Structure 1
Amino acid sequence: MRNIPVNLQGHKLMVTEAPALKMFENDKGVQEVATDRNGVQQFIVSLFAKRKAQPGEFAGKGEEIKVTLTADPGEDFEEGTYIELIDATVSYWERNGRSGLSFRANGMTPLGAKASAAA
């Protein structure tokens, strides 16, 4: 299953590594910028995701996740910034005996800011 919408509103999302161009190593061992099918550059951001505790509840542990962004998020997302993701999705992947979840979003906004189509 691919691109399953995911609701992260019950979680606090904090930037742990500022957004940067997503890179990959090609067959020749050279670093290249990752692009989508249309040639649009992709970005990557590392976030710490932790469930928001309700009164009287324990929030539990959080987890660091990497999110691929389909648009340049801009410069205003330093380490420690709390954010909201725009149109977040998750996909399951399996390759070479490994598997996991990959997160993707159309952008992100600082927490409390009004969301735009592509931040």
Structure 2
Amino acid sequence: MRNIPVNLSGYRLRVAEAPAMKTRKDKDGREEVVTVDGVTRFAVSLFAKASGSKGEEIRVTLETDPGEGFEEGQLVELIDARVSPYSFKNDRGETVSGVAFAAGGLKPAA
């Protein structure tokens, strides 16, 4: 199951690391920009905190360029937030699993 919609309305989302182009290492260990169908993906680190909880830092892949003006500490909202579970074997044969956060975009909190 992929792209499960997520309701984050009960959370305050604060920028922990400003949005930047998403990169990954290719098979030769070189950094390359992540694109899907020719569109560059972006990533942002957010601190998500519900009232009365300690909070958690999450990394979110954005489908579009969020534009300028998102700075560390700023409250934001995700547009079309969702999660996708993943599981794979790494180079050492260990199983790695978790959930990946994604969103259509990012906007300043109302």
**TM-score category of the 2 structures, normalised to the smaller one:** over 0.9
> Which residue is 2:76 aligned to?
83
Name whichever structure is richer in strand by fraction. 2
> Which residue is 1:56 aligned to?
none
> Which residue is 1:104 aligned to?
102
Give the TM-score normalised by structure 1: 0.86
Q: Deviations over 1:63-119 (max 9, x none)?
A: 00000000000111000000000000100000110101100001011011xxxxxxx
> Which residue is 1:17 aligned to?
17
> Which residue is 1:61 aligned to?
54
1:28 deviates by 1.2
Q: Which runs of 4+ in 1 moved over 3 A?
A: none
> Which residue is 1:117 aligned to?
none
Give the letter aligned to residue 77 of structure 2.
Answer: E
Instruction: Give % identity.
Output: 55
> Which residue is 1:72 aligned to?
65
Unpaired runs of at least 5, structure 1: 54-58, 113-119
Q: Deviations over 1:20-39 (max 9, x none)?
A: 00000001111100011x11
SS at match of 1:27: coil
Whole-angstrom distance in 2 between the partners of 1:44 and 1:108: 10
Give the TM-score normalised by structure 2: 0.93
1:2 deviates by 0.2
Whole-angstrom distance in 1 between the partners of 2:7 and 2:44: 18
> Which residue is 2:92 aligned to?
none
